[in-house]
């Protein structure tokens, strides 16, 4: 978890697909890391907090039931699923379950208001 937390900080993103042998097995969000890292509120010094997070495996806190979409799914359908399920991203997977990318709230806002990406 300490590595995942660092990735979120450096990468400025909020979701990570968790993949085993190329297939999606879960999704980790910054919310999952924050919940696991409640040690911040327990007055742990940074060294103890990092050691604690190092002792937690991603598989212990990731979401295993992940809603996904296919590449041909219309953005309107992806947006509807995200709103209905109150989730911030949808992994895009192929027929074999291999992750091709993520559709995020930011992607939907960009498509709706800024047009296609270059």
Q: Which pLDDT does position 57 carry in this prediction?
A: 76
User: Both 17 and 55 in a single domain?
Assistant: yes
Q: Give the chain's domain count.
A: 2
pLDDT at 85 over 90: yes
CATH number for the domain spanning 111: value is 3.10.580.10
Q: How far is CA 74 from the centre of its chain?
A: 21
User: Both 29 and 2 in a single domain?
Assistant: yes
Q: Which carries the bigger pLDDT value, residue 52 or residue 84?
A: 84
User: Both 101 and 83 in a single domain?
Assistant: yes
Q: Which pLDDT does position 27 carry in this prediction?
A: 92
CA–CA dist 4, 105 (Å, integer): 21
Q: Is 60 helix (H, G, I), strand (E, B) or coil?
A: helix
Cα–Cα distances (Å) from 46 to 17, 23, 41, 75, 85, in that order, read: 27, 34, 12, 41, 35
User: Both 80 and 57 in a single domain?
Assistant: no
Q: Which pLDDT does position 33 carry in this prediction?
A: 73
For the entire predicted model, the pTM comes to 0.73
User: Both 35 and 5 in a single domain?
Assistant: yes
List pLDDT tens digits, range 38-80. 655 565 666 665 666 666 777 777 788 999 999 999 999 999 9
pLDDT > 70 fraction of the chain, expressed in percent and rounded:
71
User: Both 60 and 73 in a single domain?
Assistant: no
User: Both 21 and 71 in a single domain?
Assistant: no
User: Both 5 and 25 in a single domain?
Assistant: yes
- Domain extent at residue 9: 1-66
List pLDDT tens digits, range 22-32. 889 999 888 87
User: Both 28 and 45 in a single domain?
Assistant: yes
User: Both 89 and 44 in a single domain?
Assistant: no
- The count of C-alpha atoms lying within 13 angstroms of the C-alpha of 95, restricted to the half-sphere facing its C-beta, is 0
User: Both 49 and 71 in a single domain?
Assistant: no
């Amino acid at each position: 978890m300490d590595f995942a937390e660092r990735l979120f900080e450096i990468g400025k993103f909020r979701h990570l697909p968790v993949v085993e042998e190329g297939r999606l097995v879960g999704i980790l969000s910054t919310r999952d890391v924050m919940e696991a890292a409640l040690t911040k509120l327990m007055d742990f010094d940074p060294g103890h907090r990092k050691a604690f997070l190092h002792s937690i495996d991603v598989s212990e806190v990731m979401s295993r039931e992940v809603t996904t979409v296919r590449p041909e799914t219309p953005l309107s359908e992806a947006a509807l699923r995200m709103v209905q399920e109150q989730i911030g991203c949808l992994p895009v997977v192929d027929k074999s379950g291999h992750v091709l990318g993520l559709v995020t709230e930011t992607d939907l806002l960009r498509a709706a208001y800024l047009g296609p990406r270059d």
